[in-house]
């Protein structure tokens, strides 16, 4: 392992994190200089989560698109899961939630839903989700065109990240 120890932020506060707290937690991933180190630091439960997220998005994302999503998934894990913890994620519930979130995004695009701000507010951790979505937007701006994810994949990214954030928050509070 060639990284500094991950900070232990302790248990999540009763209220959702503020944007400042979310940024501090997300910056914790900066201790990793290598993607493989980050994957190994996830531990067995985190690697199962990565496999679960891969299954969740398979058929919707290409392998390259999932690879682009991986650092954001790991950021969510390290921001919400205390080091050494192994939360038990409900993958069946995540599959249902992911489909619901994709439908909500599609309805929002078509003008069926109201404000898009509600999409973030009803997350268990709105600030974490906003920072992650900012990461999705950053990817769109910096990825070379030949490896940039398809425009349609961004809704999948957002739905997958919201599903994961909500489930991680739920699981670490049990």
For 36-57, what is each residue's pLDDT tens digit? 888 888 999 999 999 999 999 9
- Structure tokens belonging to residue 171: 């699981």
Run of H or E including 140: helix 126-142
Structural domains in the chain (count): 1
Q: Does some domain include residue 56?
A: yes
Q: Does some domain include residue 13?
A: no
Q: Does some domain include residue 4?
A: no
Q: Does some domain include residue 92?
A: yes
Sign of the four-CA dihedral 3, 89, 170, 157: positive
Using DSSP's 3-state secondary structure scheme, residue 56 falls into helix
Q: Does some domain include residue 12?
A: no
Domain that holds residue 149: 19-173
For 91-149, what is each residue's pLDDT tens digit? 999 999 999 999 998 887 655 555 556 788 899 999 999 999 999 898 888 888 887 88
- Structure tokens belonging to residue 146: 């030949």
Q: What is the pTM of this model?
A: 0.91
């Amino acid at each position: 392992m060639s990284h500094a120890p991950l900070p232990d932020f302790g248990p999540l506060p009763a209220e959702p994190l503020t944007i400042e707290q979310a940024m501090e937690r997300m910056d914790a991933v900066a201790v990793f200089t290598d993607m493989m180190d980050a994957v190994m630091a996830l531990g067995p439960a985190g690697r199962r989560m990565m496999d679960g997220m891969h299954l969740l998005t398979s058929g919707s994302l290409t392998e390259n698109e999932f690879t682009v999503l991986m650092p954001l998934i790991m950021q969510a894990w390290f921001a919400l899961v205390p080091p050494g913890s192994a939360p038990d994620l409900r993958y069946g519930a995540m599959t249902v939630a992911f489909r619901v979130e994709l439908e909500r995004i599609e309805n929002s695009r078509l003008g069926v839903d109201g404000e898009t701000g509600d999409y973030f507010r009803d997350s268990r951790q709105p600030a974490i989700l906003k920072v992650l979505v900012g990461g999705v937007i950053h990817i769109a701006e910096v990825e070379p065109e030949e490896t940039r994810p398809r425009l349609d994949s961004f809704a999948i990214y957002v739905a997958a990240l919201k599903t994961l954030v909500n489930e991680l928050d739920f699981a670490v509070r049990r």
